[in-house]
A and B are shown apart, each in its own frame.
Chain A
């Protein structure tokens, strides 16, 4: 099984500043035959289900603001919120789908 870890556990960022969340997989999720990284990112607000933000590590889901971006390859990935807005306060999860799906433990983002 692929184990996902995230760092930090939580972070507080000033409005308008950049937030960076890291995700690491216990083995590579890059499929060499198609050069795709099998990784997704989700946002979960209190009392709501997770919402898909990004898949294939860097493809933004339709309707997701362009301040959200994903990067990385192999085992190390990053979700960046370029200019934090109040509505971005949430817990963010990464998920690998290279094998049976598994999720990271989450990173809580707050306003400083």
Chain B
């Protein structure tokens, strides 16, 4: 079955870049039947979808409006993983960050969006000096 293993620092200074990686086993980051997502969870904002990457003859990305100017999600086919970079972080970005798999756009019923399953184990990232 598909498993996702997250890695990355748990402490980031304000104004710096948050970087996390999600390693995939049991599937391929280049799969035509998957999209690879980042979601975060905090007491103040709840569960918040941040963005996704997926492959359909070429790579596509979708990002949440709330972070669009600061976020980059990149696939790494050589390591079968994908990454999250969030620039110019503030204490408001303190959260548990999750990676998650979901069906890609138009996989079924002409939908652009779907559910998330499975999820990575989560990484608590604290933004503090």
Contacts and interface: CB of A to CB of B under 8 A. Distances in A.
B49 A102 contact: yes
Given A38-B111, A97-B114, A50 B46 contact: no
Interface string A50-94: 111001000001000000000000000000000000000000010
Interface residues of A, number: 25
Interface of B, secondary structure class, is loop
The size bracket of the interface on B is: 20 to 34
Interface stretch (B53-61, B87-95, B117-125): B117-125
B77 interface: no
A103 B47 contact: yes
Contacts of A36: 109, 111
B110 interface: yes
Contacts of B98: 49-50
Contact of A101 (B65, B109, B113): B113
A107 interface: no
A101 B50 CA distance: 9
Interface in B88-112: 98, 100, 109-112
A40 B39 CA distance: 15
Contact of B111 (A31, A52, A93): A31
A27 to B, nearest CB: 14
Given A31-B109, A49-B98, A98-B113, A106 B119 contact: no
B99 to A, nearest CB: 9
Contact of B121 (A49, A93, A101, A105): A49
Contacts of A25: none
Given A52-B117, A101-B49, 15 more contacts: A31-B109, A33-B110, A49-B100, A49-B118, A50-B98, A52-B118, A61-B117, A93-B47, A95-B115, A97-B115, A100-B65, A102-B49, A103-B48, A104-B46, A106-B46
